[in-house]
Chains A and B, each alone.
Chain A
Amino acid sequence: MEAIPYEHGLILAALLFVCGLVGVLTRRNIVFVLLSLEIMLNACGLAFVVGSARWGHAEGQAMFMMILTLAAAEVAVGLGLIIQMYKRFQTVDISVLNEMKG
């Protein structure tokens, strides 16, 4: 098998992470914000797997599985919150969430 430069894998992870970060910062639709968070978590997982391949150890992949678990739990709670928000405000615009009701 031919070799793949280690830093190219990490740079790809960084690029994907930055795409997700830009999505979180710029979008106002809460569904897109959650999707962008998914992209960021996935990029972190990619970085871990690249590290795992670099050193030939399984720890990186185990950490990827932990990230997968975290992403699943986060999406379940996040989507529940989106449903609740849509029931209350009839919109997915996060700007309506700027006031608290004590």
Chain B
Amino acid sequence: MTLLFYLASTVALLATLAVITSTHVVHALVYLIVSLLAVAVIFFVLGAPFAAMLEAIVYAGAIMVLFLFVMMMLNLGQTTEQEEREWLHPRTWVGPSVLVLVLLVQLGRVLVGEHTEITPVEVGVRDLSLLLFGPWLLAVELASMLLLGGLIAAYHVAKK
């Protein structure tokens, strides 16, 4: 189990690095799907099977396919890839990366200080739905309204 966790973590990290460094949008999308599936494996290992399924179905399935369709609609050609290569000059990414790395080191120091072991207990769909349709009902309704708002806004913005 522990080995699976570290293996999936490595895959997720490498695939995410490939996403932010690649020059072709479709390649980046496919790498991101790999990364999301690796995170789904981590969810399984941590005892959250329903979250893992949602990650695979909604993230890797629906959202990434939406991206893919929009990329097909835009039909970006070879010139974009050439531009992309020029934009990925070290001069543009070294500064932000160093600053963000400093923040990461600070966060890492805080996290390394504590040491707790997780023994994964499965928290299944039953506990989750008892929570969501009991005390969290208002949040579920708000989420549905958010989705409706997103639907209408996307339709309106992309139409004209």
A interface list, Cβ under 8 A from B: 1-12, 14-16, 18-23, 25-29, 31-32, 34-36, 38-39, 42, 45-46, 49-50, 52-54, 56-62, 64-66, 68-77, 79-84, 86, 92-93
Interface contact B67-A75, CB-CB below 8 Å: yes
B interface list, Cβ under 8 A from A: 1-2, 5-6, 9, 12-13, 16-17, 19-20, 25, 28-29, 32, 35-36, 39, 42-43, 45-48, 50-51, 54-55, 58-59, 62-63, 66-67, 70-71, 73-74, 76, 80, 83-84, 87-88, 92-93, 96-97, 100-101, 103-104, 107-108, 111-112, 114-121, 123, 127-128, 130-132, 136, 139, 143, 146-147, 149-151, 153-158, 160
How many A-B pairs with Cβ below 8 Å?
Answer: 232
Give Cα A27–Cα B85 distance, bound, in whole angstroms.
11
For the complex, would chain A's binding face be called helix, strand, loop or mixed by DSSP majority? helix
A4-B67 CB under 8 A given contacts A28-B87, A49-B43, A62-B131: no
